Amino acid sequence: MDEILDAALSPVLRDLAGADPTVRVRLRDEEWSGDPGRPAAMLRGPGGTGAGVAVFRDDPPGLRVADAAEQVQEWAVKELAAVGASNWPVCPAHPGTHPLRAGLRAGQAWWECPHTGDGVAVVGELGDRR
């Protein structure tokens, strides 16, 4: 896998690993973007569902992680809906209302509450807060 994409996805997948254990992602090194400036791969779920994920090589590292987090989150919410949960990552201040969103703070990707804008955890460190 492209090292730029791997570095962007690793912290996001670390956070996802702490979600519902029935949802297991398989990351497949499938280049689908056709753009050497945008490394890509496929996320595959247990039911065969898939989604592409790609980042822009020239973006700063924090932005690449935030971008990857948004894409993985979109896929994960659909996967989790199949097992009765569609709120990932859960906002600790509003658990039944909305998931956190990926944002950028001082060049670093963070999970934030979309309602208050408060930072909850650096992407990749969400499990450390449990």
Look at residue 10 and tell me whether its pLDDT is greater than 90. yes
pLDDT of residue 22: 64
pLDDT digits (tens, 9 = 90+) for 93-129: 999 899 999 999 999 999 999 999 999 999 999 976 5
**If you average pLDDT over residues 3-31, what whole number do you get?**
87
Q: Which one is predicted more confidently, 18 or 65?
A: 65
> What residue numbers bound the domain in which 34 lies?
3-129
**If you average pLDDT over residues 70-94, what whole number do you get?**
86
Instruction: Give me 108's structure tokens.
Output: 């670093």
- In order of 7, 24, 87, the CA distances from 19 in angstroms are 20, 9, 10
Q: Please tell me the distance from the alpha carbon of residue 11 to that of residue 34, in angstroms, as a whole number.
A: 25
Q: Please tell me the distance from the alpha carbon of residue 54 to that of residue 22, in angstroms, as a whole number.
A: 25
pTM for the model stands at 0.92
pLDDT digits (tens, 9 = 90+) for 20-47: 666 678 898 888 989 999 999 999 987 7
Cβ neighbors of 72 (< 8 A, separation 6 or more) are 9, 12, 13, 16, 25, 43, 53
Q: Please tell me the distance from the alpha carbon of residue 17 to that of residue 22, in angstroms, as a whole number.
A: 10
Look at residue 130 and tell me whether its pLDDT is greater than 50. no
pLDDT of residue 46: 76
* Strands across the sheet containing 50-54: 26-28, 40-44, 50-54
Number of folded domains that form the chain = 1
